């Protein structure tokens, strides 16, 4: 068999813009967004603010930049963010809030691989004492490695944070996967948070872009910060048009990714592939019996995440039923 990639499970960031999305980008009405004159960017921002029930939104080049501007909008130098130890904002964003904002990041354990419990928050908040950093923000994430968190559980965390005077930020890179899996109104899921960062370039399938959503004052601060971070873009409507297309066409279909992930997880369990954990569009495989599995799969045109002791398989819009069947056939031969 050739080395052509039939099926790339490494990430939902690998999704490519479809013909419809490319046409929307080509047709986008544009202006200079640094002047606030790009109608397509303004439309994308308005649409997301409305869907999430917030005042305002701001388009960013990446989720890292959107989270960073959000965290810098909430916190000043000498202040502290309580963040889940495995979260992207702590592990994978080069400590930008500390480097560029003088903000301390305080990593805390998460329960059940996902949320920060009220007890953990109570123990993490520092007393108002001149020895300590000033606790300012709870940074949450949803989904966490594909896992969803019930709204009630989220509320318990954010209510506890607020009772201690903290603001709440959500890294909602895969917010709409959670919305679809929980079958909930996006505004209800966003309501516990002051700011929410959403990636358009993961399962929603755009080439570029994230949006920070929140109240007017915080988004105004984030706007200045975006400029400072070098994130002002000019005729960005070409990119925002992809986001508008994604909101119209690619949210409902996330349920297909979740169903295929479930199907793949059942298949791997039935073939004794190791310990399989799946939620929304992600499948994790722990202790797969064969170190050569990645190489064998690659020879069949199948890329899987890793190499780690935990392998990750992510379903997305560029893996359809026939690609999934081909992958299952290859797994069956090699497991
Ligand atoms: C992808 C991702 C981000 C943002 O990543 P960028 O590559 O900067 O767009 C943030 N948080 C989580 C959980 C992510 O998966």
Instruction: Work out whether strand 56-60 and strand 210-214 pair parallel, antiparallel, or are unpaired.
Output: antiparallel
User: In 3-state terms, what secondary structure has residue 98?
Assistant: helix
220 is a domain residue: yes
- Using CA atoms, how far apart are residues 31 and 48, in angstroms rounded to an integer? 20
How confident is the model over 273-277, as a mean pLDDT?
90
21 is a domain residue: no
Taking the centre of ligand 1 as the mean of its atom positions, its distance from the CA of residue 62, in whole angstroms, is 7
Confidence of residue 1 (pLDDT cuts 50, 70, 90): very low
Query: Could you report the per-residue pLDDT of 98-153, keeping only the tens digit for each?
Result: 999 999 999 999 999 999 999 999 999 999 999 999 999 999 999 999 999 999 99
112 is a domain residue: yes
Taking the centre of ligand 1 as the mean of its atom positions, its distance from the CA of residue 88, in whole angstroms, is 7
* Residue-number span of the structural domain to which 66 is assigned: 31-249
pLDDT value at residue 289:
61
Asked whether 141 lines ligand 1 (CB < 6 A), one says yes
pLDDT value at residue 83:
98
Taking the centre of ligand 1 as the mean of its atom positions, its distance from the CA of residue 279, in whole angstroms, is 18
CB 146 within 8 A of CB 175: no
Number of independent structural domains in the chain: 2
Of all protein residues, whose CA lies closest to atom 6 belonging to ligand 1?
63
pLDDT value at residue 125:
98
CB 301 within 8 A of CB 6: yes
Asked whether 136 lines ligand 1 (CB < 6 A), one says no
Residues 230 and 269 occupy one common structural domain: no
The mean pLDDT value of the chain amounts to 95
- Using CA atoms, how far apart are residues 204 and 244, in angstroms rounded to an integer? 10
Give the residue carrying structure tokens 């968190």. 149
Query: Could you report the per-residue pLDDT of 81-109, keeping only the tens digit for each?
Result: 999 999 999 999 999 999 999 999 999 99
72 is a domain residue: yes
Asked whether 199 lines ligand 1 (CB < 6 A), one says yes
Q: Within a 10 A sphere around the Cβ of 160, how many other Cβ atoms?
A: 19
CA 89 to chain centre: 10
23 is a domain residue: no
Give the residue carrying structure tokens 């005077």. 165
Asked whether 63 lines ligand 1 (CB < 6 A), one says yes
Residues 238 and 154 occupy one common structural domain: yes
């Amino acid at each position: 068999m050739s080395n052509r990639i039939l099926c790339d499970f490494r990430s939902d960031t690998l999704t490519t813009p479809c013909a419809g999305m490319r046409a929307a980008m080509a047709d986008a009405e544009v202006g200079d967004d640094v002047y606030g004159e790009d109608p397509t960017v303004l439309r994308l921002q308005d649409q997301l603010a409305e869907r999430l029930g917030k005042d305002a939104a701001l388009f960013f080049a990446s989720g890292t930049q959107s989270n960073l501007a959000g965290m810098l909008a909430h916190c000043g130098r000498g202040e502290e963010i309580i963040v889940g130890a495995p979260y992207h904002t702590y592990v994978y964003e080069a400590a930008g809030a500390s480097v560029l904002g003088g903000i301390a990041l305080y990593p805390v354990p998460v329960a059940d691989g996902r949320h920060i419990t009220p007890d953990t928050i109570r123990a993490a908040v520092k007393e108002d004492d001149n020895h300590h950093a000033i606790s300012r923000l709870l940074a949450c994430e949803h989904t966490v490695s594909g896992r969803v968190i019930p709204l009630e559980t989220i509320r318990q965390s954010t209510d506890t944070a607020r009772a201690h005077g903290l603001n709440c930020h959500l890294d909602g890179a895969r917010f709409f996967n959670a919305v679809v899996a929980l079958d909930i109104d996006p505004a209800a899921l966003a309501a516990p948070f002051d700011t929410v960062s959403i990636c358009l370039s993961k399962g929603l399938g755009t080439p570029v872009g994230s949006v920070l959503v929140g109240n007017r004052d915080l988004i105004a601060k984030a706007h200045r910060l975006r400029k400072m971070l070098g994130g002002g873009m000019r005729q960005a409507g070409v990119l925002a048009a992809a986001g508008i297309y994604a909101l119209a066409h690619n949210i409902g279909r996330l349920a297909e990714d979740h169903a295929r992930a479930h199907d793949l997880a059942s298949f791997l369990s039935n073939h004794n592939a190791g310990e399989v954990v799946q939620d929304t569009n992600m499948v994790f495989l722990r202790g797969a019996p064969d170190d050569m599995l990645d190489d064998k799969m690659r020879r069949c045109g199948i890329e899987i995440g890793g190499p780690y002791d935990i392998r990750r398989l992510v379903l997305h819009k560029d893996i359809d039923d026939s690609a999934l069947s081909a992958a299952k056939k290859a797994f069956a031969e090699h497991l």
